[in-house]
Structure 1
Amino acid sequence: MTTDHAPPAPSPSAPESQLRLLLPQILPALVVGVAASLLFLGISALAEQFEEVLWDDLPDALGIGGFSSLWMISMLTATGIAVGLVVWKFPGHAGPDPAAEGLGGAPFAPGVVPGLLVASVLGLAGGVSLGPENPIIAANIALAYWLGRKAQPSLPGAAWVALASAATIGALFGTPVAAALVLSEALSAQPGRGSLWDRLFAPLVAAGAGAMTAQLLSTPSFDVGLPPLTDPGFGDVLAALVIASAAAVFGLAACYLFPYAHAAFQRLRHPMLMLPLGGLVLGLLGALGGHLTLFKGLAEVKELTSALGSWSSGELAKFAVVKLLALLVAASCGFVGGRIFPAVFIGSSFGLLAQALVPEVNPSVAVSSAVLGVLLATTRQGWISLFTGAVLAGSPDIIALLCLASLPAWLIVTGRPQLELDHQGHALH
């Protein structure tokens, strides 16, 4: 006599437990997303208003050209003095050495945030060649971690860090896609914690909330007015491969020089020496390169591409080299700020230079491929480099070209120094 044993019924607890895990994360993610975006927008608006005073109202009142060599040198030096005072006197000294800080990281103590944000506003308004992304993400991480752990102690600290990072990246780029790409690189290195999309669920909610808040209150856009690419051919593929690889080599030059430039400024030992000297050097570089080589770089890219075809190859080469040196100096002497936005300007100048030398190359292919190469070299963030290059071109057809162009460019940069140091001042690879 045999007895048939029916297979056990599938347990409904697995999907239900996932829902019970994910649903409570929505409200904290929405709150962090909106709050992080508001902080980013507020700091950006404050910096823009201050920039208008420093570069328009004040020189007009004094009867001096806002972008005269004398004013650029004076203003960048004064910015170095002001940021030096913040780093010297504010609690927390505006955070650790910015040269050793990447995009995100461990949360700072909340007392560091005011000095970090003041130094960021001064640098952005004063024309320093750094972007807002690193200090804004660091500030949002610190605040979300501190407040979140008090409001909801059951949520792990790492979750608050991920929410703040995703929300700020979503606000910066105006879309949650960039945050998903960046976080997927980090989360893929953490096996055994459920599916990737389960781990991305709450950060994507935060990124979406941050992006929508930015879209509703502002108009973040990476559209720089490049002509669309249609029907790409073999020539476009070849151009993308060559330009991305050449731009990666160009960007690596700053990465190799970074430890030496940083060490040279560190020998001065005091922020009131390092930052004013750095500001003076940035002012001299601005006088050499012109006003387009100042500030974080995105608005300047739009000005660059709006006059497509009117720049000589010599001018474009000067823009690329001066901005690369300005980024190197600003990152070495202690100014707080990110590298992505200046790298976009460097890549755009390099791409337009390639297009000026070989006019048959499509401008969208040239710019997006060069931005891809420079970002790969300076950030070593593959997804964000592809994403930024693609959104600059504003054409779906460019994505396949950039995926191909990223392969030789990655072979050039992988294992090489990047534009970030460890806390001993040695290059990260």
Structure 2
Amino acid sequence: MRRLPPQARALVPLIVPALLVGVGASFLLLALSWVAERIQITLWERLPDALGVSGTSAGWIFGTLTVVGVVVGVVVWAVPGHAGPDPATTGLIDPPLPVRVLPGLALAVVIGLAGGVSLGPENPITAINIALAYTLGMRAMPRTNAVLWVSLAAAGTVGALFGTPVAAALILSEVSMGDDPRPLWDRLFAPLVAAGAGALTTVLVAHPTFRIDVPPYPGARLIDVVSAVVISTGAAVVALGAVYAFPFFHRAFRQLGHWHPVLMVGVGGLVLGALGALGGHLTLFKGLDEMKELTEHADEHGAGNLLLLAVVKLAALVVAGTCGFRGGRIFPAVFVGVALGMFAHAVVGAVPVSLAITCAVLGVLLATTRQGWLSLFTAAVVVSDLALLPVLCVAALPAWLVVTGRGSLDLAPLRGGD
């Protein structure tokens, strides 16, 4: 230990806390996801079977989402802490919440995930892990910087969500770490340990993957660069429509909230039910399993239906994110990108489907998250073909010019540097 340089000696004591936070973040994610999946099976399979109806019928989708909206509204209204702050004003990584709001937030996100709401688990579960890591960490090591526990919990959760620590490193590289003057890799050392622990735990237990099964990319051609730019920019423009609509929907639902929170989320659930009845079961839930089902049965979907799925899912994402449901935007946005990419391939068959999907995912995520590295990484792992990376790097540039400075799919302040 004494032979190590001072910088290394400062990092070594962080390894054990980082491992504990990473593993803990993964187990909490897995536990909440397991509970949500059990409730989902009951709501969408066992209960409709017992009643002799189809769980994918328009009537069941509409009724279930409406009831889920009312139930989540009751949680937001009646449970201590009101399930945390307005989710439309929060990002993926925020300051620690008071511990008293965590039970309500966990309950709200589990009900939403199980009930088919078009939001992912990332924002609320990251918030829960940050609050717990901060509270427990500062008690155990009161002389540490509070930013450390926030970064460890965020990295551990993101690593668990994506099944790789790389995503956490890319996200944290775009987040302000205060006035820390250390080199980037010194600042990322402990968070990467937490992210690796969280990712490995999740992979060993649940085997998650973003990868979809599509024909491999045949190799770069000059025309592919043009196609990539058009698709990524076009997808970004489509997603910007949701970004611009977001504050208007938020104000409209807040007006209902002035009457009563249950009315606000209940009406949101009713609207989501109508959208789900229009788009079908593929437009429900966070979208990870649904995008795999969509690509596995690509022959069953024409261009018009693919566009409908993308538009309905994007509209559902806006409604769910503004009416009070707790959840994140990344997972549903990836589904939108996959559907738009398949639409582009259906319209112009000469464009390789792998290229079309990755570029569309890239454009949608750039517009909705405003995080360049995360968008590029997620688009690349959806198809997992390294031959696409050079084209994706080029396609990201014009899409970024379109979205930069225009806000994102939340009401939080603009990201640093914009």
Find the counterpart in structure 2 of residue 264 from structure 1.
Answer: 252
Q: 1:160 corresponds to which residue? A: 149
CA RMSD of aligned residues (A): 1.6
Residues 1:122 and 2:111 are matched in the alignment: yes
CA contact (8 A) 1:119 1:335 kept: yes
**1:230 Cα deviation after fit:** 3.1
Confirm whether residue 25 of structure 1 aligns to residue 20 of structure 2: no
1:362 to 346, 352, 360: 352
2:233 paired with 1:242: no
Counterpart of 1:401 in structure 2 is 391
CA offset at residue 13 of structure 1? 9.1
CA distance in 2, matches of 1:192, 1:420: 27
Determine if the alignment matches structure 1 residue 39 to structure 2 residue 28.
yes
Partner of 2:315: 325
- Structure 2 partner of 1:377: 367
After superposition, what is the alpha-carbon deviation per residue over 1:332-361, rounded to whole angstroms, capped at 9, x for unaligned? 100000000000011111110000000011
Match of 1:314 among 295, 298, 304: 304
What secondary structure sits across from 1:92 in the alignment? coil
- The amino acid of 2:79's aligned partner reads F
Structure 1 counterpart of 2:266: 276
Per-residue CA shift, 1:119-176, capped at 9, x if unaligned?
0000000000000000000000000000111111122111000000000000000000
**Which of the residues 215, 218, 224 maps onto 1:227?**
215
Which SS does the other structure have where 1:82 is aligned? helix
The size of the alignment, in residue pairs, is 413
Query: Aligned runs of 1:45-64 on 2, under 5 Å?
Result: 45-64=34-53
**Residue aligning to 2:330:** 340
CA shift at 1:15, angstroms?
5.6
C-alpha distance in 2 between matches for 1:353 and 1:40 = 33
Counterpart contact for 1:144–1:160, Cα < 8 Å: yes
1:399 to partner: Cα distance: 1.1
CA contact (8 A) 1:309 1:356 kept: no
User: How far apart are 1:232 and its partner, in Å?
Assistant: 1.3
Q: Which residue of 2 aligns with 1:144?
A: 133
Are residues 52 and 192 of structure 1, via their aligned partners in 2, closer, same or farther at CA, if it must alter by over 3 Å?
closer
Matched-pair contact (CA < 8 Å) for 1:59–1:65: yes
1:16 is the counterpart of 2:16: no
Distance in 2 separating the partners of 1:160 and 1:191: 16
Q: Displacement of 1:190 after TM fit?
A: 5.1
Given that residues 155 and 195 in structure 2 are in contact (C-alpha distance below 8 angstroms), is that contact kept between their aligned partners in structure 1? yes
Alpha-carbon separation, structure 1, partners of 2:70 and 2:298:
37
Which amino acid in the other structure matches residue 239 of structure 1? S
Does the residue aligned with 1:127 lie in a helix, a strand or coil? coil
Q: Which runs of 5+ in 2 are unaligned?
A: none
| Aligned counterparts of 1:89 and 1:324: Cα–Cα separation in 2 | 30
Between 147-156 and 54-63, report the one with greater CA deviation.
147-156
Distance across 2 between alignment mates of 1:34 and 1:217: 11
Return the letter of the residue paired with 1:62.
L
Q: Do 1:141 and 1:164's aligned partners in 2 also have CA atoms closer than 8 Å?
A: yes
> What CA distance in whole angstroms lies between the structure 2 residues aligned with 1:272 and 1:412?
38
Match of 1:72 in 2: 61
C-alpha separation in 2, matches of 1:98 and 1:182:
19
Question: Do 2:171 and 2:371's aligned partners in 1 also have CA atoms closer than 8 Å?
Answer: yes
Distance apart, 1:19 and its partner CA: 1.9
From the superposition, tell whether residues 262 and 195 of structure 1 become closer, same or farther in structure 2 (CA, over 3 Å): same
Distance 1:72 1:104, change over 3 A: same
Distance 1:59 1:379 in 2: 36
Amino acid at match of 2:308: K
Q: Structure 1: which amino acid aligns with 2:182?
A: G
Q: Name the residue aligned to 1:174.
A: 163
CA distance in 1, matches of 2:6, 2:143: 16
CA contact (8 A) 1:286 1:293 kept: yes
> 1-side partners of 2:46 and 2:2: how far apart?
65
1:198 maps to: 186
Which residue in 2 is equivalent to 1:214? 202
Structure-2 separation of matches of 1:192 and 1:131: 31
Q: TM-score, normalised by structure 2?
A: 0.96
Letter in 1 for 2:105: L
Deviation at 1:383, TM superposition (A): 0.6
Letter in structure 2 aligned against 1:383: W
What SS does the aligned partner of 2:299 have?
Answer: coil
The answer to whether residue 174 in structure 2 is matched with residue 185 in structure 1 is yes
Q: Give, in whole Å, the separation in 2 of the partners of 1:47 and 1:141.
A: 21
Q: Which moved more, 1:198-207 or 1:309-318?
A: 309-318
In 2, Cα distance between equivalents of 1:195 and 1:165: 19
Aligned to 1:417: 407
Identity of aligned residues (%): 57
Distance 1:240 1:40 in 2: 35
- Of residues 115, 124, 139, the one that matches 1:135 is 124
Distance 1:285 1:327 in 2: 10
d(CA) in 1 for partners of 2:153, 2:111: 23
Residue 16 (structure 1) shift: 2.1
The alpha-carbon deviation at position 14 of structure 1 amounts to 11
Change (3 A) 1:13 1:186: farther
| Moved segments of 4+, more than 4 Å | 12-15, 189-192
